[in-house]
Structure 1
Amino acid sequence: MKLLQVRKGQLVYYNNELHKVYSVKPLAKKSVLMFRLKDMEQVACKAEEATFYKPKHMDSFLFLGSKYTLREDVNAEEGGYIFIVKPDPDYMDHYSLNEFEKVESVEGKNVITTRQNTVKAREFFVMVPGEEPGSTDISYFDPSKVTESQKEEDAQLEEKLREQNAIKPSIGDVYLNLDNGAIAMVVAIEHEVVTLGTGEKITFHALFKADNWNYLYSINSTSSEL
């Protein structure tokens, strides 16, 4: 693609995998900022390295580790997801091209999302869980280039992401050291490494599995409740 053709919200292929553009920085060396749909990993590339794709009815792909199929011929359900492909928001609504929204309630064929957007039926595809019979898998630009090991990793991705979300701490979380009684707060997070108030650095997974560190509470949630 040429830089002038790249727009926020577009789906593109990069490194053979499906991504969504979330920002374009024309002056940057890698001007296209995007995240990979299957796990939300953020990446950047040059415009000429991306290949545009327009999603359509009966396309299926990995989203946060789970496979979904886009359908225009089924009704949305409360608690499910929609994928906005023809955005036409009213002045009180805030959504744009190729956004994923969770359905809070259904009004006829239209929906109200958890972000309090009212989205008309003609604006979205319903994201049906699973790979529907007859659907086209668009997860990869060229499926023949996907290795067996990558297929195995993708099959385990949902469980891996679920564990990561379960063990990921937040700044303000407070832990008790069972060995010495010390109480420490999470003061910094860089990639998958946590810095505690004691100065100790530890990975998410190691903190979650540690026998000597026990989660107490989050000072942030406590403050908000007060």
Structure 2
Amino acid sequence: MKLIQARKGQFVYYNNELHKIYSIKPLAKKSILMFRIKDMEQVACKAEEVSFYKPKHMDSFLFLGAKYTLREDQVAEEGGYILITKPDPDYMDHYALNEFEKVETVEGKDVITTRQNTVKFREFLVMVPGEESGSNDISYYDKSKVTESQLQEDAQLEETLRKNEFTPSIGDVYLNLENRGVAMIVAITQEEVTLGTGERLTFKALHKADHWSYLYSLNDGGFL
């Protein structure tokens, strides 16, 4: 289904692959800003170039190189991911449609995420690692158009992303995909960085965080 009105957070297909809209610029020629879910590659396009998709129970897809299956009938686990599909945040919480959140604590069926959001069980689907039997693979809109080489690249994507990790440096600037804010690394101690926002993350956590994306370094001025 083609989008009539785009909305931040929507899952969409673009160039046959699953993406998520992170921002909309109504006056821009390419008004839809999104990232490819399997590897966080950013892209801009027009609304008429994408097709809307609503994720549901037993859908499976690639996220940061790894396969996950969405389940509405399982309790989340600490360290795992959830996808917020029916957001109803309290006034102290900050999350929206189709956000990926990492679980820090499980309280019954509800969770507290690493971003200190309390998310109720009815608001999310659990992202179970792996492609479960009977699941619906939504990584591609039309699977018949997927080449064998693409499938091979997907199978090796997690390892490829790991090999392509780089050591962050002071002056590296990151884009927050949730609020379009930017932050620079202002300090590094051993395996931990401090962003200008005050947030402290390990190298691995920064690389894996679904809401921080590397933009450029002040050291060379070049965009990624």
Taking the aligned partners of 1:133 and 1:127, their CA distance within structure 2 comes to: 14
Tell me which amino acid in the other structure corresponds to 2:86. Answer: K
Indicate conservation of the 8 Å contact 2:62/2:139, yes or no. Answer: yes
- Secondary structure in structure 2 of the residue aligned to 1:76: coil
Taking the aligned partners of 1:100 and 1:108, their CA distance within structure 2 comes to: 20
Residue 188 of structure 2: aligned partner: 221
User: May I ask how many residue pairs the two structures share in their alignment?
Assistant: 180
Taking the aligned partners of 2:65 and 2:55, their CA distance within structure 1 comes to: 19
Q: Deviations over 1:47-75 (max 9, x none)?
A: 00000000000000000000000000010
Residue 212 of structure 1: aligned partner: none
Tell me which amino acid in the other structure corresponds to 2:187. Answer: N
Taking the aligned partners of 1:70 and 1:155, their CA distance within structure 2 comes to: 19
Indicate conservation of the 8 Å contact 2:67/2:129, yes or no. Answer: yes
Is structure 2 residue 110 aligned with structure 1 residue 107?
Answer: no
Residue 47 of structure 1: aligned partner: 47
The correspondence of residues 61-80 of structure 1 with structure 2, limited to 5 A, is 61-80=61-80
Structure showing the higher helix proportion among its residues: 1
Residue 169 of structure 1: aligned partner: 167
Runs of 5+ unmatched residues, structure 2? 174-184, 195-199, 201-224
Residue 160 of structure 1: aligned partner: 160
CA RMSD of the aligned region, Å?
Answer: 1.9
1:82 Cα deviation from its structure 2 partner: 0.4
Indicate conservation of the 8 Å contact 2:169/2:188, yes or no. Answer: no
Residue 139 of structure 2: aligned partner: 139
Could you state the TM-score of these two structures normalised by the residue count of structure 1? 0.76
Q: Deviations over 1:77-126 (max 9, x none)?
A: 11110000000000000000000000000000000000000000000000
Q: 1:219 to 1:108 in 2, by over 3 A?
A: closer
Indicate conservation of the 8 Å contact 2:22/2:33, yes or no. Answer: yes
Tell me which amino acid in the other structure corresponds to 1:43. Answer: V
1:5 Cα deviation from its structure 2 partner: 1.0
- Secondary structure in structure 2 of the residue aligned to 1:221: strand
1:219 Cα deviation from its structure 2 partner: 7.9
The percentage of aligned residue pairs carrying the same residue is: 74
Taking the aligned partners of 1:65 and 1:57, their CA distance within structure 2 comes to: 20
Q: 1:188 to 1:10 in 2, by over 3 A?
A: closer
Indicate conservation of the 8 Å contact 2:80/2:103, yes or no. Answer: yes
1:188 Cα deviation from its structure 2 partner: 6.9
Could you state the TM-score of these two structures normalised by the residue count of structure 2? 0.76
Taking the aligned partners of 1:26 and 1:219, their CA distance within structure 2 comes to: 33
The correspondence of residues 1-226 of structure 1 with structure 2, limited to 5 A, is 1-2=2-3, 5-165=5-165, 168-172=166-170, 220-222=187-189
Runs of 5+ unmatched residues, structure 1? 173-186, 190-217
1:171 Cα deviation from its structure 2 partner: 2.9
